Amino acid sequence: MSFPSHRPRRLRQSPAVRRLARETHLVPSQLVLPMFVREGVTEAVPIGSMPGVVQHSLDSLRRAAVDAAAAGVGGVMLFGVPAVRDAIGSGADDPDGILNVATAALRAEVGDALVVQTDLCLDEFTDHGHCGVLRADGAVDNDATLERYAAMALAQAQAGSHLLGLSGMMDGQVAHVRAALEAEGFVDTLVLAYAAKYAGAFYGPFREAVDSQLQGDRRTYQLDPANAREGVREAVEDVAEGADIVMVKPAMPYLDVLADVRRAVDVPVWAYQVSGEYAMIEAAAAHGWIDRRGAVTESLLGIRRAGADAILTYWAVEAAHWLRDAL
Ligand code: PBG
């Protein structure tokens, strides 16, 4: 009769041993809350496909950011929902545009208690919904878009953004924005490159959140969901161009890419748990088909385990409270 000499269950025998043997930890400062601010509203507007998430008014945004800071989250990522759009996304670099106004208001409210971050992309501001400006034939014009991004970067830095989230997936966007910032003396502004951003179905609820005007898809600039090596290459190139942080997005369907990027670069790697990932768990939980808190916590832990140093998640504040309660 043989007894197993290896008894891996020893490490699982009690909460105290399990806690000591735990490989991956999740703390509030690793969570970043994405927030939407809508021009012209006086109260927060619920987003149907993202229960619990709202389009903020300037006032409700300020209050929510104070709550986020009190919960200990690492930062907030702002998205603007303008009242008027045009072909070149003029509202994006207008100092009076909603995103820039909200950024300045948040900095005035929370100062440096949080890392105040801004989405740097044209899709919320264009009347065609693409992330860049269009050529006469309707294709997205990469190099003309870079000029728009540079103007946007300066407007956001001027408004007080600590960190610019470059989510447009144009070639050369990191180098171009970095050069524009340096030329104007914004040497401390952080650049987060959405390096490996995949074109797919998981952004669906976000399109409602920002009232997206997009017809068609983003497959000429965002990555093909079938390609992992290409995502790693994008991340390596973005680091060479001057990115301080690189990101993989969405998170759960791309954990392999996240792990590969983690091994390929030595800067912080973040992941974005996107609107569709949020909506799936919320919907299942609302039906009583899944344990909400357990599923949210497990999803965040899985993303950390795969290699994310920080996570953008719509559950940031609630998860931060759970984590503190658990201490
Ligand atoms: C583009 C942008 C998108 C998201 C973040 N930045 C939408 C897109 O690429 O279509 C999606 C975020 C989410 O789904 O939660 N500015």
Give the span between the Cα atoms of 280 and 310, in whole angstroms: 21
| 14, part of any domain | no
Average pLDDT, stretch 280-304?
A: 98
Is the pLDDT assigned to residue 6 strictly greater than 90?
A: no
Alpha-carbon Rg for the chain, nearest whole angstrom, is 20
pLDDT value, residue 5: 79
Percent of the chain with pLDDT over 90: 94
Beta bridge partners of 140: 134
φ/ψ of 77, rounded to 5, equals -115, 120
The reply to whether 231 falls in a domain is: yes
C-beta neighbour count of 225 within 10 angstroms: 17
Give the ligand 1 atom nearest the CA of 206: 14
pLDDT at 3 over 80: no
Catalytic-labelled residue, pool 128, 249, 262, 304: 249
The Cα–Cα gap between 87 and 138 comes to 11
The answer to whether residue 106 is domain-embedded is: yes
Q: Is 58 exposed, middle or buried (0-12, 13-18, 19+ CB in 10 A)?
A: middle
Q: How far is the CA of 43 from the centre of ligand 1 (A)?
A: 23
Pocket of ligand 1 (CB under 6 A): 119, 121, 123, 167, 203, 206, 218, 274-275
CA 174-178-182 angle, 5° bins: 175
**Which pLDDT score, from 0 to 100, does residue 27 have?**
97
**pLDDT on residue 243:** 98
Please state the rounded mean pLDDT for residues 229-252. 98
Q: Probe ligand 1: pick from 99, 124, 167, max atoms within 8 Å of CB? A: 167
Active-site pick, 56, 128, 130, 197: 197
Percent of the chain with pLDDT over 70: 99
pLDDT at residue 207, rounded to an integer:
87
> pLDDT class for 325, splitting at 50, 70, 90?
confident
Q: Which domain holds residue 176?
A: 25-325
Q: How far apart are CA 56 and CA 48, in angstroms?
A: 14
Cβ 277 vs Cβ 250: under 8 Å:
yes
Within a domain: 16: no
Amino acid sitting at position 105? A
In a domain, 4, yes or no: no
Task: Determine which residue's CA is closest to atom 8 belonging to ligand 1.
Answer: 203
pLDDT tens-place string over residues 134-143: 999 999 999 9
Q: Is the pLDDT of residue 314 over 90?
A: yes
Residue 250 Cα to ligand 1 midpoint, Å, equals 9
Evaluate if residue 1 carries a pLDDT over 90. Answer: no
Q: How confident is residue 209, by pLDDT bands cut at 50, 70 and 90?
A: confident
Q: What is the CATH number of the domain that holds 200?
A: 3.20.20.70
CA-nearest residue, atom 6 of ligand 1: 167
Q: What is the mean pLDDT of residues 51-68?
A: 98
- Is-catalytic flag, 178? no
Which residue is associated with the tokens 């690492």?
74
> Residue whose CA is closest, atom 14 of ligand 1?
203
User: Does the pLDDT at position 312 exceed 90?
Assistant: yes
Give me the number of domains the chain comprises: 1
Q: Distance from the CA of 168 to the center of ligand 1, in angstroms?
A: 9
Assess if residue 277 is contained within a domain.
yes
Distances in Å between the alpha carbon of 107 and those of 37, 38, 46, 268?
14, 17, 24, 24
Q: What is the mean pLDDT of residues 76-99?
A: 98
Consecutive H or E run containing 54? strand 54-56
Q: What is the mean pLDDT of residues 263-274?
A: 98
Q: CA-CA distance, 312 to 31, in Å (whole number)?
A: 6
Q: Whose CA is nearest to atom 12 of ligand 1?
A: 274
Give the mean pLDDT of 180-187. Answer: 98
Q: What is the pLDDT of residue 92?
A: 98
Taking residues 170-197, report their average pLDDT.
98
User: If you take atom 2 of ligand 1, which residue's CA is the nearest one?
Assistant: 167
CA of 248 to the centre of ligand 1 (A): 12
The 10s digit of each residue's pLDDT in 35-53 is 999 999 999 999 999 999 9
Catalytic annotation on 249? yes
| Domain presence at residue 12 | no
Distance 326 CA to ligand 1 centre (A): 32
Q: Sign (positive/negative) of CA torsion 213, 235, 99, 136?
A: negative
34 in a structural domain = yes
Per-residue model confidence as pLDDT tens digits over 148-178: 999 999 999 999 999 999 999 999 999 999 9
Pocket test for ligand 1, best of 81, 274, 275, 311 (most atoms within 8 A of CB): 274
**Residue 203 Cα to ligand 1 middle (Å):** 6
Residue 32: enclosing H or E segment and its boundaries? strand 31-38
Query: In the predicted model, is pLDDT for residue 129 greater than 70?
Result: yes
User: How does the average pLDDT of the chain come out, rounded?
Assistant: 97
